[in-house]
Amino acid sequence: MTHTPGRSGAADGGPGRGPGGRANGRGSGGAKGKANGRGGRRPGTGADVWPGHPAPLGARFLPGPKGPEGTNFALWAGGADAVELCLFDEDGHETRHWLPELTHEIFHGFVPGVRPGRRYGYRVHGRWDPAAGARWNPAKLLLDPYARAVDGSYDRLPPEVYGHRRDHPDQDLADTVRDERDSAPAVPKGVVVHDTETWADDIRPDTPWADSVIYELHVRGFTMRHPGVPPELRGTYAGLAHPAAIEHLTSLGVTAVELLPVHQFAHEDHLLRRGLRNYWGYNSIGYFAPHAAYSASGSRGQQVGEFKEMVRALHRADIEVILDVVYNHTAEGNEFGPTLSLRGIANPGYYRLAEDARRYADYTGCGNTLHVVQPQVLRLITDSLRYWVQEMGVDGFRFDLAAALARSFHDVDMLSPFLAVIAQDPVLRRVKLIAEPWDVGDGGYQVGAFPPLWTEWNDRYRATVRDYWRDALPDVRDLGYRLSGSSDLYAWGGRRPYASVNFITAHDGFTLRDLVSYEQKHNEANGEDNRDGTDDNRSWNCGAEGETQDLQIAALRRRQLRNLLTTLLLSTGVPMLVAGDEMGRTQRGNNNAYCQDNDLSWIDWTLPEDPAWRPLLELTRRLIRMRREHPVLRRRAFFSGRRRGPEGMRDLGWFTAAGREMTERDWHAPGSTLGMFLSGRDIPQRDARGRPVLDDSFLAILHAGSGPLDFPLPGPPWAERYTLLVDTSREEQAEPPGTAHAAGLPVAVPPRAVLLLRAEP
């Protein structure tokens, strides 16, 4: 094993280290002595490396005319001895240049003549001492953390892409033995990109939080089977931008798409060994680069322009773009993972290390955790976020395992550097910020704890609504909180009901159809003997496991789907739908389809034309339209529940199955029925001219019981009569005006159904 000198010596033929750790020799002088075997400068290039600038980080093309054309390269590599810039020509030949300058642990240099489209990477020199967390290995070509585009894919992870001897006979010691094989032929390269586009012609929708309806989708899976999208565009950014794809979104009425990860990501070795791939993308390796495999136009920078055109197309349709981002860990995994980027650049600087620095602190369940307390890591994340807002045009972010980002040195801290920086950043504090408010570490569950500016995935909502419709709640107390905006979680610090992102399903878990069709997970296709995925599904199969020919069970399942979607879209807060749930998409019981890049995960576009499923789609469209038209369904403030005015009306009324107002005792009594009255005469908001906002009033009756119910309709001051608008017991919903019912008389509520009635004064 070749020894690489530490900081006090020279690095494998590179420049010596002078006083203060600065590299001796300017330009290319230090590199000329390196052999042209293992990658030294190729004869005849004759290109010098000028000092350049330490900012901005990454590869920045400078076209002139104020200076010569070329690219400035800058890399933070704290603790490293030297950095080689590796440039690749069209034939894949590598030319290496020492970056000559070191400023505040940033290695930098300007290379004249390097233009957009040029591929590059880095080799970073330093000591190999895994026990101290030092894992520098110049045999490994490393991806620039600031690369704006990546050419190639991580479809294979051979032994040479590991910094240690992955195939060492003693696996307990394998990660301590440095691997000297060159990884360059096996790894993707960064691409120099020149951003010349402006957003002057783009108008952001800027949809208020309270008016938002989020639609979580996968760029690839949404269009792979769409008959209206040309085959060559399916599964790509251009495919999502196609009018046929956007038409579904606009006809549905959603205001934002939340894209599963589109940062460049890698596939895990254990999946590749089983012939599978990472489909969801929660394995990021490039925080500035759109995932190249989703590009129809190319991977030499074309993916950047294609992504921007997708954002523009969605904005023209008045749809915002929210990115699901994974800044809590990277694809390099634990100490036995590959060396692709950060590990080989500055392992102790980028990652949280355990007390035994050979190991990683893992609050994510993915092998490593980014050390967000470190200034350079915080800079990487915030630079990336601002880039996606300012240069790529996105409108917000959903942060995967956000509690891991909010940890200080150990505990989750809502005054952590990450949250503090976001709160004061003039760009980031204005976009939509959604936290997945937990991680897998001690104290990681933080639902309701994130500060103002943030909304949260409310899994308390998910659990409660699932339990209610399978008739598994002991009483209706928790349901009342979830329907009315979860004030028990969010009514503090100036937060509003839209701090709660209400959802029943997400990419992780059963689809909505599977939630009413399976009680057990069926993940055999994942190759892990059905051990992966949660066992806490809170599902009910309605009497048979999986698909069935029983017409009664099938009808009950469709009714349950209508109940779940109606509950979601009538609840105060921000509703989130998952692509395909509105038309009965199934994953055949797989509740962890992260590795299923096939028709198990892709949207089935025959469903909208299926007579069994089209009514569900039409109901979803209608409910979203009602939500858009009625401000009482998307309140900007919590309900008070107090009586107001001479009539003694409340802005929110709760009723028992007997049609009388709920008492404290009723909230604690067993029950499967709840009436909710939403008053449109007492909405605490004003329009743009300062006038009070008035709306219709509505009564929703939610009945999860297995038998029918006669529900007496509340009389004055609530209403004189009611008009039935929605009855989820029916496959087809009649358009208004619906059936009229006199107040004080009972309305027949079928088993397991939601009735929505408009109150008439």
Q: Residue 249 in contact with residue 620, Cβ under 8 Å?
A: no
Structure tokens at 214: 């989020």
Can you spell out the DSSP letters for 619-684?
A: HHHHHHHHHHH-GGGS-SS-----EETTTTEESEEEE-TTSSB--HHHHHS--SEEEEEE-TT---
Question: Taking the CB of residue 556, how many other CB atoms lie within 10 A of it?
Answer: 17
Q: Residue 591 in contact with residue 537, Cβ under 8 Å?
A: yes
Residues labelled as active-site residues: 400, 436
Look-up of token digits 């589109």: 262
| CA trace torsion 58, 64, 70, 75 (10° rounding) | -20
Using left for φ > 0, alpha for ψ between -120 and 50, and beta otherwise, residue 586 falls in beta
Structure tokens at 345: 């650049």
Question: Taking the CB of residue 55, how many other CB atoms lie within 10 A of it?
Answer: 12
Cα→Cα distances 617→18, 201, 211, 582, 622, Å: 69, 34, 20, 5, 9
Q: Residue 739 in contact with residue 724, Cβ under 8 Å?
A: yes
Q: Residue 222 in contact with residue 246, Cβ under 8 Å?
A: no
Q: Residue 483 in contact with residue 472, Cβ under 8 Å?
A: no
- The alpha helices in 159-279, defined as continuous H runs, are 219-223, 237-241, 243-252, 269-273
Cα→Cα distances 612→140, 435, 517, 554, 733, Å: 55, 36, 15, 9, 14
Q: Which phi and psi angles does 94 have, rounded to 5°?
A: -105, 135
Give me Rg for the CA atoms of the chain: 29
Q: Which residues pair with 698 in a beta bridge?
A: 678, 758
Burial of 382 (0-12, 13-18, 19+ CB in 10 A): middle
Widest CA span in the chain: 95
Q: Is the peptide bond before 717 cis (omega within 30 degrees of 0)?
A: yes
In SS3 terms, 534-593 reads as CCCCCCCCCCCCCCCCCHHHHHHHHHHHHHHHHHHHHCCCEEEEECCHHHCCCCCCCCCH
Distance CA 495, CA 574 (A): 13
Using left for φ > 0, alpha for ψ between -120 and 50, and beta otherwise, residue 155 falls in alpha
Q: Which helix (H) or strand (E) holds 316?
A: helix 302-316
Distance CA 557, CA 668 (A): 29
Look-up of token digits 């030319």: 95
Question: Taking the CB of residue 660, how many other CB atoms lie within 10 A of it?
Answer: 12
3-state helix, strand, coil in the chain (%, to 5): 25, 20, 55
The sign of the dihedral angle between the CA atoms of 122, 124, 130, 132 is negative
Q: Which phi and psi angles does 150 have, rounded to 5°?
A: -130, 130
Residue 3 DSSP label: P
Cα→Cα distances 684→459, 570, 626, 631, 691, Å: 27, 18, 20, 11, 11
Nearest to 730 by CA among 709, 750, 759, 758: 750
DSSP E strands, 430-525: 432-435, 454-458, 500-502
Burial of 611 (0-12, 13-18, 19+ CB in 10 A): exposed
